[in-house]
């Protein structure tokens, strides 16, 4: 049919040859029209019909204009069909190896969709698509040389979208595989659990929610204009080396039950919330570790560059190391913070911050460290903060060493601060034997009852008080001291003992009281209260003051005695 006559209609099933013409119309009604196009040409007229079927066949290209009056099904079984006008066709299907192009065309799919078969391709050039669905298993390609828009459109797990031309997506739900290769604007869009968005160019975002997979490759940029960028529901966000996420001045990347692997650049604020893990060797802005959130620098192990960081209540730092002699950031994790580290965790059971320790082999697999000796003290740098550390309190930290495969032999890990460094210290079990060996005591001089320096203190007491068994310590030992509390004077006893890494772990201290020296059985720990306990971290000593609860001179006998018992 060379030139359809205006108002032409067809029977229930009709097959014709080439279709062309500068005008006219075809009214299919409920009929099925098949066009076998053998020569490329254009039909600029109109297509009508409510429930009819229009099938494009033949190897050549057919271009059509206005199909806005056709609400049936449009099929491409061979060759290429190009639509250039307005359309409201609710259903498109393509066979394998065929092409459907929307060239400066608009389409409202309503509740319908476009579904290319395997090997089929739908092309969009300066197209405007609204509502409905884009499905697979064929490919949807946004062509270079134009700018297309998609509004309130949904894709599924079978959908493949290749974006080579500029595009704007508004209220778009991606459930398929979307590959970005040209400037892209996302406004109010969702990447669903089945969706994968691969970013190779510049993507501007407003209110983007990700529950699937987003990958930012080298040269790719996500520029979040405003609103938070939210990744949750088991979603994954990966920034490869050379990739960038810019969150702007007001936007925040919220990880809610999600994974972030950043080996590129994350510029802005990151909140690592409940059930989330952030890791990688890239550059981070401000990182807030909140309740249930975890951070692991590097890639098992390694270093992360961070502007500022907050250790919040319930957060976790997963610290990995593959050697006890590893350089921080190379063989052992390191938080390299150019700004400040603020510790806002508390000291109660549910508000502390956890340091999780994991030992790895050279293949980054869980394994004991080959060079760790549990009889020696070790010191590892967890973090350095050029802007300083605020809020440090050792009681605000909990150590989870379940992932550390070496036996500790009674030793323990603890967190300390050294200037602008946050440290993880391993404290070996301190026993009388290890203490005596540290002073090279041998033979009879090593016995707990010996007194090598002749100062009246046995080795056991020297050990208990943190004094030197080879140098007379006149001031070491326990001493009486009056204590005033509430304006009332009490008898007190003061003594010093090692504190921190050198604290003895195989002896006990007990202050006892009696009013009758003639009765040895009268000594007891009742009638006493701890008055004060203070530590000097520089000297490594702790001063303990215990006092009586009876005011001085108020005992029936008028006498009161205190003593310190040290037992092994």
Domain ranges of the chain: 268-429, 432-465, 479-567
pLDDT for the residue 409: 86
pLDDT at 10: 56
C-alpha 436/C-alpha 441 separation (Å) is 5
Parallel, antiparallel or unpaired: strands 488-498 and 541-551: antiparallel
Query: Rounded to an integer, what distance in angstroms lies between the CA atom of residue 180 and that of residue 171?
Result: 17
Specify whether the CB–CB gap between 460 and 565 falls below 8 A.
no
**How far is it, in rounded angstroms, from Cα 462 to Cα 414?**
25
Distance separating alpha carbons of residues 400 and 370, to the nearest angstrom: 20
Local mean pLDDT, 10-residue blocks, the chain (568 residues): 45 84 87 94 90 93 91 94 88 93 93 93 97 96 97 97 98 98 98 98 96 98 94 96 92 96 97 98 97 95 98 98 96 98 95 97 95 92 98 96 93 94 91 87 95 93 92 85 95 91 86 94 95 85 95 91 94
Which class is domain 479-567?
mainly beta
pLDDT at 9: 56
Would you mind telling me the total number of residues written for the chain in this entry? 568
**Does an H or E element contain 399, and which?**
strand 397-403
| Per-residue 3-state assignment (H helix, E strand, C coil) for 409-471 | CCCEEEEEEECCEEEEEEECCCCHHHHHHHCCCCHHHHCCCCCCCCCCCCHHHHHHHCCCCCC
The pTM of the full predicted model, rounded to 2 decimals, is 0.79
pLDDT score, position 8: 55
- Residue in the structure block whose two tokens are 């990447």: 191
Residues 397, 402, 405, 411, CA torsion sign: positive
d(CA 320, CA 334): 9
């Amino acid at each position: 049919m060379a030139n359809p006559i205006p108002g032409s209609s067809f029977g229930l099933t009709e097959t014709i040859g080439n279709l062309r013409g500068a005008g006219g119309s075809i009214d299919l009604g409920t009929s099925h029209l098949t066009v076998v196009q053998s020569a490329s040409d254009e039909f600029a007229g109109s297509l009508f019909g409510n429930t009819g079927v229009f099938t494009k066949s033949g190897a050549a290209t057919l271009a059509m204009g206005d199909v806005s009056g056709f609400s049936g099904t449009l099929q491409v079984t061979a060759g290429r069909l190009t639509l250039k006008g307005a359309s409201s066709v609710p259903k498109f299907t393509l066979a394998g190896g065929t092409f459907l192009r929307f060239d400066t065309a608009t389409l409202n799919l309503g509740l319908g969709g476009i579904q290319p078969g395997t090997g089929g391709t739908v092309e969009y050039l300066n197209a405007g698509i609204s509502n409905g669905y884009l499905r697979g298993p064929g490919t949807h390609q946004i062509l270079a040389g134009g700018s297309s828009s998609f509004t309130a459109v949904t894709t599924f797990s079978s959908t493949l979208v290749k974006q080579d031309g500029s595009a704007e997506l508004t209220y778009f739900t991606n459930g398929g595989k979307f590959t970005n290769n040209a400037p892209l604007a996302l406004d109010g869009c969702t990447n669903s659990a089945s969706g994968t968005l691969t970013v190779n160019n510049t993507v501007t975002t407003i209110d983007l929610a990700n529950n699937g997979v987003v990958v930012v490759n080298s040269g790719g940029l996500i520029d979040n204009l405003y609103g938070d960028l939210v990744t949750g529901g088991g979603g994954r966000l990966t920034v490869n080396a050379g990739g960038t996420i810019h969150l702007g001045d007001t936007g925040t990347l919220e990880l809610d039950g999600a994974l972030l692997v950043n080996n590129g650049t994350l510029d802005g604020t990151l909140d690592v919330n409940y059930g989330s893990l952030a890791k990688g060797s890239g550059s981070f802005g401000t990182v807030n570790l909140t309740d249930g959130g975890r951070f692991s620098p590097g890639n098992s192990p390694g270093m992360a560059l961070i502007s500022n960081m907050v250790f919040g209540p319930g957060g976790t730092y997963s610290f990995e190391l593959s050697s006890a002699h590893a350089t921080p950031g190379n063989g052992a994790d390191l938080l390299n913070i150019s700004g400040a580290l603020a510790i806002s965790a508390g000291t109660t059971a549910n508000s502390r911050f956890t340091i999780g320790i994991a030992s790895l082999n050279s293949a980054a697999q869980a394994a004991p460290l080959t060079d760790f000796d549990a009889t020696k003290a070790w010191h590892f740098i967890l973090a350095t903060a050029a802007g300083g550390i605020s809020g440090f309190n050792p009681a605000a930290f909990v150590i989870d060493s379940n992932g550390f495969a070496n036996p500790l032999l009674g030793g323990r890990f603890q967190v300390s601060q050294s200037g602008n460094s946050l440290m993880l210290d391993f404290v070996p079990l301190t026993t009388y034997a290890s203490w005596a060996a540290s002073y090279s005591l041998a033979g009879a001089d090593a016995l707990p009852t010996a007194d090598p320096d002749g100062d009246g203190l046995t080795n056991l007491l020297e050990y208990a008080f943190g004094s030197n068994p080879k140098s007379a310590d006149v001031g070491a030992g326990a001493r009486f001291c009056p204590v005033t509390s509430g304006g009332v004077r009490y008898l007190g006893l003061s003594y010093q003992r090692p504190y921190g890494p050198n604290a003895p772990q195989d002896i006990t201290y007990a202050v006892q009281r009696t009013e009758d020296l003639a009765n040895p059985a009268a000594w007891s720990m009742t009638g006493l209260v701890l008055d004060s306990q203070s530590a000097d971290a520089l000297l490594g000593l702790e001063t303990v003051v215990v006092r009586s609860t009876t005011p001085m001179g108020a005992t029936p006998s008028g006498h009161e005695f205190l003593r310190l018992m040290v037992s092994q």
